[in-house]
C-alpha cells in the first residue's frame, strides 16, 4: 500500500510555536491588506497574538534580509514574507522580484524552515489590490496557508 502524506492543517497543533511575518512598508496600502490576511489566517489556526511577530522592513528588497535575521534568531517555526512590487517604466521590478524569490527559496531550503513567498509582482496597482483582498483573493492568506501546510508536512515526516 502506498503511504500518502499530504500537507494539511486540519490536525495540526501550532500551540507553543512562534511565527514571523516580514512585511514591506513600501506600497503599504497593499501590504497592509496582505498582512491582515496573514494575521487572520494564523489566528484562525488558534495561534495566539503573542506568538505572532510582525517585522516591518522598508521595501521588497529588504524582505530577504529581514527573513534571514528572523531565521538566524532561532525563534520561529515559520515565516511569511509579504510585499508588493508594481511594474514601472524600467526593469527595476524584475531585478527585485528575482533576487527576493531566489533568496527566500534558498533560505528556506538551507534552514529547513517553511518561508512563504507572499510578494506580489504586478503590472498595476489595480492588480495588486485585486490580490490583496479584492476579487482575486488575499495572497497574504494563501502564503500563510502554504507555510502552515509545509510546517505540518515537516512535522508529519519527523514523526514517522
6 within a domain of the structure (yes/no): no
Q: pLDDT grade, residue 9 (50/70/90)?
A: low
Ordered DSSP codes for the chain: --------SSS---TT--EEEEEESTTHHHHHHHHHHHHHHHHHTT--GGGEEEEEESSSTTHHHHHHHHHHHT--SEEEEEEEEE--SSSHHHHHHHHHHHHHHHHHHHH---EEEEEEEESSHHHHHHHEEETTEEHHHHHHHHHHHHHHHHHHHHT-
- What pLDDT score does 137 carry? 93
Q: Is residue 7 part of a domain?
A: no
The answer, yes or no, to whether residue 53 has pLDDT greater than 80, is yes
Average pLDDT for residues 98-127, to the nearest whole number? Answer: 95
Q: What number is the average pLDDT over the span 50-74?
A: 97
State the Cα–Cα distance between residues 50 and 21, nearest whole angstrom. Answer: 13
Amino acid 21: pLDDT: 98
Respond yes or no: is residue 141 known to be catalytic.
no
69-73 average pLDDT score: 98
Compute the distance between CA of residue 118 and CA of residue 141 in angstroms, rounded to an integer.
9
pLDDT at residue 10 tops 70: no
pLDDT band for 11, please (50, 70, 90 cuts): low
For residue 160, pLDDT over 90 is answered with no
For range 1-10, the mean pLDDT: 72
**Does a structural domain hold residue 42?**
yes
Q: The domain containing residue 49 runs over which residues?
A: 19-158
Looking at the structure of the chain, the number of domains it has is 1
Cell of 14: 501550532
2 belongs to a structural domain: no
Which of these is catalytic: 92, 95, 141, 152? 92
The predicted structure's pLDDT at residue 88: 77
Q: The domain that contains 101 carries what CATH number?
A: 3.40.50.960
Place of cell 513567498: 117
Mean pLDDT of the residues in the chain: 92
Amino acid at each position: 500500500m502506498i503511504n500518502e502524506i499530504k500537507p494539511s492543517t486540519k490536525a495540526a497543533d501550532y500551540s507553543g510555536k512562534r511565527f514571523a511575518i516580514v512585511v514591506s512598508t513600501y506600497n503599504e496600502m497593499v501590504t497592509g491588506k496582505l498582512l491582515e490576511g496573514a494575521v487572520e489566517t494564523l489566528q484562525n489556526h488558534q495561534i495566539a497574538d503573542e506568538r505572532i511577530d510582525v517585522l516591518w522592513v522598508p521595501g521588497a528588497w529588504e524582505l530577504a534580509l529581514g527573513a534571514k535575521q528572523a531565521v538566524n534568531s532561532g525563534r520561529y517555526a515559520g515565516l511569511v514574507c509579504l510585499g508588493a512590487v508594481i511594474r514601472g517604466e524600467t526593469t527595476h521590478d524584475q531585478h527585485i522580484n528575482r533576487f527576493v524569490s531566489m533568496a527566500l527559496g534558498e533560505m528556506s531550503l538551507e534552514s529547513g524552515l517553511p518561508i512563504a513567498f507572499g510578494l506580489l509582482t504586478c503590472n498595476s496597482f489595480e492588480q495588486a489590490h485585486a490580490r490583496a483582498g479584492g476579487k482575486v483573493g488575499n495572497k497574504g492568506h494563501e502564503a500563510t496557508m502554504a507555510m502552515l501546510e509545509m510546517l505540518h508536512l515537516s512535522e508529519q515526516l519527523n514523526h514517522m
